[in-house]
Structure 1
Amino acid sequence: MWDNGAGEVLAAFGDTFGDGWAPPGANGGDWRSQVLLRSNDRDLADGMAFSSAATDRAGHAKELIPSRKVDGDEITVIPTAGVSVGTRQYMGYMSVRHWGQPGQWDTNYAGIAYSDDNGQNWTATTPGTPRWDNPTGANHFQMAAMVRRDGYVHLFATPNGRSGAAYLARVPERQILDKAAYQYWTGSQWQQGQDALAAPVVNAPVAELSVQFNAYTGKWLMTYLQGSDVVLRSAAAPTGPWSAPALIASSADYPGLYGGFMHPWSQGQDLYLTLSEWTPYNVYLIRITLTRDAAITNANLVRDPSFERQTTGTVATPWACHGNCGIDNGTWSFTADRNAFARYNRGWHDLYQTVSVAPNTRYVLTGWLRTSGNNDNGFFGVRDPGGPPFSETNFRAVGQWTRHQVAFDSGPRTSVEVFAGIWTDNGDMWLQFDDVSLVRG
């Protein structure tokens, strides 16, 4: 995602499918190697809305840069970065020759395309312009993140795959299409010449970089995939030194996660970024909260919040169950692979977890729910452990996964029970429950 300089954020997505798609992963018809959507939504607390797309017909997002879609030649062309200079949009991309084992792929080259009509049409670069060829698989600049600051566009990059280090180049912002104008950070100085001059600014493994200068912290922030987790680092300068990595999201809670890209407008204490997951093959917006020193605070107090750490179909610690409950392991969940459920034809059934809280503190509880069509009396909220609810929301039939929220003050309590349940007195009824969060409000 990047700011287009005219009041919109442009979001470029990779391989995208339409007709016939079914989880898990990439498959189906209407394959486009990339698509682009636009957003002017500045209130991200309730999600990110898109207002338009680069289209080739009404209601259909088009492929921006053609790809051959031939394995071993060019299987796809994936966008990796974007930046605007004046009214021109620039997008970094990689030409993928072959997808290998998870986390491994071969690229032909990486380039920069440009658009003068807000992303509707793109001109891809040729070997005479910024194009980093990769015939031996050793080039450092195959996947990029671009940041415009202090008169330069800073180009952070990694080799193809997910096991390389991060490297850095910069170019005067008006010369972004002149490869000879690029300077590479050698570890001690900026130097023009070949990209092989670049030394790592962050050691391996680094993948799918996102970098921005953050106004709230006054620091450069970097998010990336480290092994199977998304992490955050910070630095006073783009050249580093970069802080130790702090965990944003674990693959234990978000299986198959990748692509943690920061929203360019989240410049305050709340940092929003996207997170992709393989099984649902979709992109989600997540939020972390930063201190002035760029440390992550306001962590989710719910353990196993997406039920992905459950190993059987029976509800296990830290979750518990009243009545008839279980764990689904398939493709029904809101995200990833698993969700919890309660189901029966009479009485009260719920899922719950005891969570420690600070007294006299405001909290916000959120969770994603859906139910059978005959549900007429469900509840989501918090209660005293083993006691009655003191803050909850009531819901009836919920056809699609829907986010529910409850705000409360803990009062004198040092722990609460988070719960979701239904009265099943209207025939066979069920509730599905996923992605629960309890944070200071």
Structure 2
Amino acid sequence: MDHFLYRDGILHAEDVALPDVAAFVGTPFYCYSTATLTRHFTLFDDALSWGPHLICFAMKSNSNQAILKVLAGLGAGMDVVSGGEYARAKAAGVPGERIVFSGVGKTRAEMRTALIGGIRQFNVESEPEMRALSDVAVSLGVHAPITVRVNPDVDAKTHEKISTGKSENKFGVPISRAREVYAEAAALPGLKVVGVDVHIGSQLTELEPFELAYRKVADLTRALREDGHEILRLDLGGGLGIPYERTNEAPPLPTDYGALIQRTVGDLGCEVEIEPGRLISGNAGIMVSRVIYVKQGEDRKFLILDGAMNDLVRPSMYGAYHDIVPVVEPAAGTEYTKYDVVGPVCESGDTFAKAREMVPLSEDDLVAFRSAGAYGAVMSSEYNTRPLIPEVLVQGDQFAVIRQRPTFDEIINRDTIPAWL
């Protein structure tokens, strides 16, 4: 469920009419719903109420500070994968003890920053990283709390580019070698082992892969405790999918996911950490764009929008589907027509949809890309010197611009011309 609904024939974000936002900020723009963010976080929180837990929002899905402040105010921690995301989390007021640092390529500088600024744990992914972290911690006279990310070799049954738990993927250490890796971690002077980490992928629409992975983690936890390690936390990652296509069967609910966690690892007495991103922010955001032209091709119609692949890259990168709806509600019984929905960037890949059945649209009509709150704005670029588009947050009948559209001068003036030119 989200809070983008038609009211009196106009698509609203909560109580705000989207044409009013478009008139204020121009198009294209991203728009987020506070009520939807709150609802989705609360679903996860309730689903894990059977035991101690922390929900760390996966910032890679949406890192705007206003979004982070909404979620932090609800009690969320943050899952970061770079020094920049760590800095954003701290700037949004998230304390270090609620920040988990993930990622396969943490640098010593990033480790040092997090150890000085405060960190809940590092999810380490290799022995070289583990040794580097120990060195940095020793140089600072502290112990770095760690989990080791294990790769359970479980097929997440998702897109190959967002699958992370198979043996062929770059993430984690093979679960078959986990005990020896933990033995080395315990012997390193700058580390303190606190738990186990696993994450098998994103946009999972079935629970079975989670169950297979979590049962392996439960067995490993028992074995590690036999080896003398104090395993206090289980970081079980994120990855629960959302229904991008409204006609598809809905993915499992957070309540089902929480019950599965309780069933597979609930008897271990560990604090559970999960790192949802897409399911919290995905349906909480849309991208609104305007029709520039309707072009008749040889055998198809092109709907040319002012939004482009640099604004929302998922369709070009993953072949991802986004529901595209008119901001003005069509009359009942309106016949559909087929469009190739494209942007103005000089790439054939700048295509959002092919032969998409939609109501007839004309120049200046507004359309909304649903389920664009995750991996939308964070993956955008200024390709073709197109400014990053505004982000807007709605709460009830209020809205605020939470990222401004830069001017051409601001973009161009970032360049520095050498003196010899």
Q: Same fold per TM (> 0.5)?
A: no
Give the TM-score of the pair, scaled to structure 2.
0.28
Richer in strand (by share)? 1
Richer in helix (by share)? 2
Give the TM-score of the pair, scaled to structure 1.
0.27
Higher relative contact order (CA 8 A, sep 6+): 2
